[in-house]
């Protein structure tokens, strides 16, 4: 399979507040813009070390504003045409349904039954009107299996976690709880998984 260079979008105010974003279309804050530029510089350094040019890759983003804006910053820093990238709805963040906008502590109080189920099985539990990591993995897998060339992706923490499982880098239990950095580049490919930050 082709190599994937995955960048989680930069920070939003809801990230700072610990609020579940899911499909809510929120912009990055000032720190998030800086993180996106930092990821672009890391990516450029990786390309140089590997003897590759930024033009050698496909570029695709989640359609959500925070991810697409991250990709625009990445392409600006790589001196590529800013808008010349694809978006794919399959890379949208995991949907938290009625939990979106709330913190985990608030959801533990508002929906203790589902919250307890999710605590016991984070991968397969579906929040009301939302989706599970298993469902997210199914749509990301469909995207992944159609890849034909090395690709730079701007998406979300959830997509990073399911790619770890899809590519065999880790288990569902480990991936579901793994912190995903902003301003880092996650590389999946050639039988390895690496994080650069």
DSSP single-letter state for residue 59: E
pLDDT value at position 1? Answer: 87
Residues forming the active site? 9, 93
Q: Does residue 99 contact residue 26 with C-beta atoms inside 8 Å? A: no
Check: CB of residue 197 under 8 Å from CB of residue 173. no
- Which of 176, 52, 53, 192 has the alpha carbon at shortest distance from 120? 176
Please report, in tens digits, the pLDDT of each residue of the chain (197 residues total). 899 999 999 999 999 999 999 999 999 999 999 999 999 999 999 999 999 999 999 999 999 999 999 999 999 999 999 999 999 999 999 999 999 999 999 999 999 999 999 999 999 999 999 999 999 999 999 999 999 999 999 999 999 999 999 999 999 999 999 999 999 999 999 778 999 99
Radius of gyration of the chain (CA): 16
CA-wise closest residue to 167 among 132, 183, 143: 143
Question: CA-to-CA distance for 164 and 54, rounded, in angstroms?
Answer: 24
Predicted local distance difference test score (pLDDT) of residue 21: 97
Domain spans of the chain, in order of start: 4-196
Q: Which helix (H) or strand (E) holds 58?
A: strand 58-61
In this predicted structure, what is the pLDDT of residue 193? 93
Tell me the helices (H) and strands (E) count for the chain, helix number first.
8, 6
Instruction: Return the CATH number of the domain spanning residue range 4-196.
Output: 3.40.50.1240
Report pLDDT for 191: 74
Output the six-digit token pair for 161. 């976690």
Q: What is the pLDDT, as a whole number, of residue 190?
A: 76
Q: Distance (Å, rounded) from C-alpha 184 to C-alpha 6?
A: 8
Predicted TM-score (pTM) of this structure: 0.95
- Give the tokens for residue 68: 């697409």
CA distance 186 to 46: 11
Instruction: Give the position of tokens 């804006």.
Output: 69
């Amino acid at each position: 399979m082709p190599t994937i260079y995955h960048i989680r979008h930069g920070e939003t105010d809801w990230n700072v507040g610990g609020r579940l974003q899911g499909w809510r279309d929120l912009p990055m804050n000032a720190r998030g813009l800086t993180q996106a530029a930092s990821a672009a510089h890391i990516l450029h350094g990786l390309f140089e070390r590997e003897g590759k040019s930024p033009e050698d890759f496909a570029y695709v983003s989640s359609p959500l504003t925070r991810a697409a804006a991250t990709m625009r910053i990445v392409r600006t820093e790589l001196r590529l045409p800013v808008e010349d990238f694809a978006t794919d709805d399959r890379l949208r963040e995991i949907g938290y349904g009625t939990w979106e906008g709330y913190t985990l502590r608030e959801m533990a109080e508002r929906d203790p039954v589902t919250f307890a189920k999710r605590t016991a099985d984070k991968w397969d539990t579906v929040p009301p009107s939302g989706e599970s990591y298993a469902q997210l993995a199914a749509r990301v897998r469909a995207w992944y299996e159609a890849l034909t060339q090395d690709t730079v992706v701007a998406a979300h923490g959830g997509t990073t976690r399911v790619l770890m499982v899809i590519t065999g880098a880790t288990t569902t239990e480990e991936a579901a709880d793994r912190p995903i950095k902003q301003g880092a580049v996650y590389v999946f490919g050639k039988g390895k998984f690496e994080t650069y930050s």
